[in-house]
Amino acid sequence: MKAAVIVFPGSNCDRDVQVALAQATARHASGGAPIMVWHKDADFEKVELIVLPGGFSYGDYLRCGAMAAQSPVMKEVVRRANRGVPVMGICNGFQILTEAGLLPGALIRNANLKFICRDVNLRVETSQSLFTGRYEEGQTIRVPVAHHDGNYIAGDEEMERMEDRGQIAFRYCAPDGTLTSDANPNGSARNIAGIFNETKTVLGLMPHPERLADPALGGSDGRPLFDGLVEALS
Amino acid sequence: MKARVHVTLKPGVLDPQGKAIHKALSGLGFETVERVRQGKVIELELSESDPERARESLRDMCEKLLANTVIENYAIELDA
């Protein structure tokens, strides 16, 4: 399995996600470490997975992800995503995916106006996807968030359509899995932390699974996401 | 030709920054403030001299980049 990590000026989680994917690939498949693709590259080699990492692409100018969504590499990412190549956007990557129109809705300023950097609990809403196959539906996992603009919003009709199609991937929850407003760090509608596109080939999520994907980092609840992806795509 | 684009959050979209400004104004004693919404203004200078063509081009810019029409409205103002 070969993956590409897209690097924008201001990306800062690109190496972490490269390591998490390289380790998962070494455990389950061949293919080696993901290639790193610079934002100015309008074309890159054929890959089975594209990752948009976290960070502050283009300094969050105009809106988070707005400038990155217009970069040369994103035209190619959108073209490949529309042909079915799986794409995952983490944090700033999620913001870029909504700005590029690959995922519905938008991410606005956290309800409490603060940059939030801490571990949160997530409820896995489905195991029926490339990304979540190694989790159980309803399982609670602990993953860190680190963002200022992670407050997910979409129109009511859009939201209903997403619920009906099972496009919600993760929700913020209490340690026992219940969805409470206390467990919602940023004010996201319906405690949403991550969503799929209609075909479930594109995932965007605010939390950082790559930051807890190795016991040496203090936890490994993020690891099954990378293991599952590598297995599914190999 | 000079133009200004006003980008504002759509009604119903939570505006935590507007709320914080409202709170701060109340704290300063401005008690008549009933509601605050924060947006942004983008100033542009265009080489276009035809107002209709300028407006059309600005609309296109707003749809493609300047505004996120999922959450924001925009208004275009042209200097005569």
Interface confidence (ipTM) of the complex: 0.85
Q: Is the separation of the CB atoms in B13 and B71 below 8 Å?
A: yes
For residue B80, pLDDT over 90 is answered with no
Q: How far is A99 from chain B (nearest CA, A)?
A: 7
Domain count for chain A, please give it.
1
Neighbouring residues of A156: CB distance < 8 A, sequence distance ≥ 6: none
> Worst-scoring range by mean pLDDT, A65-69, A135-139, B11-15?
B11-15
Q: How far is B63 from chain A (nearest CA, A)?
A: 11
Give the C-alpha separation, A20 to B35, whole Å: 46
Q: Do B16 and A113 touch (CB under 8 A)?
A: yes
pLDDT at A30: 87
What confidence category does residue B12 fall into, taking pLDDT thresholds of 50, 70 and 90? confident
pLDDT above 90 as % of chain A: 97
Per-residue confidence at B16, pLDDT binned at 50, 70, 90? confident
- Contact at CB, B65 and A66, closer than 8 angstroms: yes
How confident is the model at residue B14, as a pLDDT?
Answer: 86
**Predicted pLDDT at B17:** 87
Tokens of A226: 């990378």
Residues 6+ apart with CB under 8 A from A81: A50, A87, A102, A197, A201, A202
pLDDT of residue A163: 97
Quick one: pLDDT band at residue B27, thresholds 50, 70, 90? very high
Identify the weakest region by mean pLDDT among A6-15, A28-37, A100-109, A121-130: A28-37
Has A147 been annotated as catalytic? no
Please give the share of chain B, as a percent, with pLDDT higher than 70: 99
Domain that holds residue A97: 3-233
Q: Does residue A29 contact residue A224 with C-beta atoms inside 8 Å? A: no
Class of domain B2-78: alpha beta
B32-65 pLDDT, tens digit each: 999 999 999 999 999 999 999 999 999 999 999 9
* A163-178 mean pLDDT: 97
- Catalytic residue among A39, A91, A125, A173, which? A91
Verify whether residue A198 is a known catalytic residue. no
Token pair of A89 as six digits: 């956007």
What average pLDDT does the segment A174-192 reach?
97
Q: Which of B8, B10, B71 to mutate to test the interface with A (most CBs of A within 10 A)?
A: B71
Q: What does the pLDDT read at residue A110?
A: 95
**What CATH number is given to the structural domain containing A190?**
3.40.50.880
In chain B, what's the furthest Cα-to-Cα distance?
Answer: 47
pLDDT at residue A32, rounded to an integer = 87
Query: B65–A113: do the CB atoms touch at under 8 Å?
Result: no
| A61: closest chain B residue by CA | B66
Residue in chain B lying closest to A151 (CA): B14
Domain residue ranges of chain B, discontinuous segments joined by +: 2-78
Give the pair of three-digit tokens for residue A78. 């959108």
The pLDDT value given to residue B61: 97
Q: What are phi and psi of B71, to 5 degrees?
A: -125, -10
As a whole number, the mean pLDDT across chain B is: 95
AA letter at A179: L
For chain A, strand residue ranges (E) read 3-7, 35-38, 49-52, 87-90, 106-108, 116-124, 140-147, 151-153, 168-173, 192-196, 202-205
Q: Which residue, chain included where needed, has tokens 């610079």? A: A38
State the smallest CA–CA distance between residue B14 and chain A in angstroms.
8
- Mean pLDDT along residues A74-92: 98
**What does pLDDT average to over chain A?**
97
Cβ contact B71–A106 (<8 Å): yes
Contacts of A98 in chain B (CB under 8 A): 70
Concerning whether A160 is annotated as a catalytic residue, the answer is no
Which helix or strand (DSSP H or E) is residue A25 part of? helix A14-28
Residue A210: per-residue pLDDT: 98
